[in-house]
Amino acid sequence: MEKMVKKVVSSGWLGSESNSDSPGKRMIGSAMVISMFVHSLLLAAILVVKSMPQAVTIPVQKEEIKTNIVFLNDPGSGGGGGGSPMPAPPKPTEIPKHKRIELVPIVALPISEAPPPVPVLNVSIEANSASILQMNGVSPISLGTYAGGGSGGGIGSGKGDGVGPGTGGGFGDGAYAPGNGVTEPVLIYQVQPSYNPDAMRARIQGVVLLEAIVMPDGRVGKVRVIKSLDTKYGLDEEAVKAAKKWLFQPGMRQGQKVPVVIQIEMSFRLH
């Protein structure tokens, strides 16, 4: 470019140089040369820019992202904790709920009167040296409650180890107890139990307590042993056999003969 400027100047486009030109003319000529140089540079830059290939704009297709939202029944995980060095606060303590206690009302039971004692026949059996059995005597029958503790003056159906469907180990068959309008049986005939030689040699002595029903005809019905003395030599069995042979004047209730429960106590003594 500098060579072109010098050529222009030397060709006389701006006039020939002469020593006779004034300084003002020389300044104007220099300014024109610089202006042409600058314009030439700008023109060259424009040509260079136009000669460059134009940028191709490629349209960008946006990709559509389909989003499906799914709701879960379970809670999602929590977010991460911060960077604080302080420890997490403690979890609150769950206080167990106490079950409500229902109060059950207490029902007072009726107080029953104590029954009177059971009527007992006391019979003492003694054996002498000659093995002759004698009955010392029979005590009067005392009033009391029949065995079993039933209601209505007699023994009804129930449970127990007694004879028949009695209650509390007593008798059934509708037997009554003396008292409350029921008269007691009266002993009119008795048989002595056998004191066998084996029991005598073994010196077995004591009391056998029996429970029996005196039937309306005065005979002894069912008999059972309440207190045993001897089962090995047969004294219990002999006492039962003897009691079943006794005869009574039957008990009465409202003018009618009724079965009545009594107890018989037999004592076996050695001399």
- Choice between 70 and 86, residue whose per-residue pLDDT is larger: 86
**Same domain, residue pair 142 and 264:** yes
**Same domain, residue pair 34 and 141:** no
Q: Is the dihedral of CA 261, 259, 184, 244 positive or negative?
A: negative
Q: Residue 14: which pLDDT band, with cuts at 50, 70 and 90?
A: very low
Is the pLDDT score of 111 beyond 80?
A: no
**Same domain, residue pair 240 and 133:** yes
Is the pLDDT score of 5 beyond 70?
A: no
Report if residue 183 sits inside a domain.
yes
Report if residue 109 sits inside a domain.
no
**Same domain, residue pair 135 and 247:** yes
Element holding 135 (H helix, E strand): strand 133-138
CATH number of the domain within which 125 lies: 3.30.2420.10
- CB neighbourhood size of 195 (10 A): 21
Ramachandran angles phi, psi of 41, nearest 5°: -65, -45
Report if residue 90 sits inside a domain.
no
Which residues face 227 on adjacent strands? 209
**Same domain, residue pair 32 and 156:** no
The total number of structural domains in the chain stands at 2
Report if residue 114 sits inside a domain.
no
Percent of the chain with pLDDT over 70: 50
Report if residue 66 sits inside a domain.
no
Report if residue 227 sits inside a domain.
yes
Report if residue 193 sits inside a domain.
yes
Q: Residue 10: which pLDDT band, with cuts at 50, 70 and 90?
A: low
**Same domain, residue pair 159 and 241:** yes
**Same domain, residue pair 39 and 173:** no
Q: Which domain holds residue 45?
A: 2-15+22-49
Report if residue 32 sits inside a domain.
yes
- CA dist 47 and 187 (Å) reads 164
Segment 172-207, tens digit of pLDDT: 557 898 888 999 999 999 988 888 888 889 999 999
**Same domain, residue pair 266 and 134:** yes
**Which residues, 6 or more positions from 79, have their beta carbon under 8 angstroms from its beta carbon?**
none
Segment 126-181, tens digit of pLDDT: 543 222 233 333 333 333 333 333 333 333 334 334 333 333 344 555 789 888 89
**Same domain, residue pair 164 and 266:** yes
Q: Are 146 and 160 in contact (CB under 8 A)?
A: no
**Same domain, residue pair 36 and 148:** no
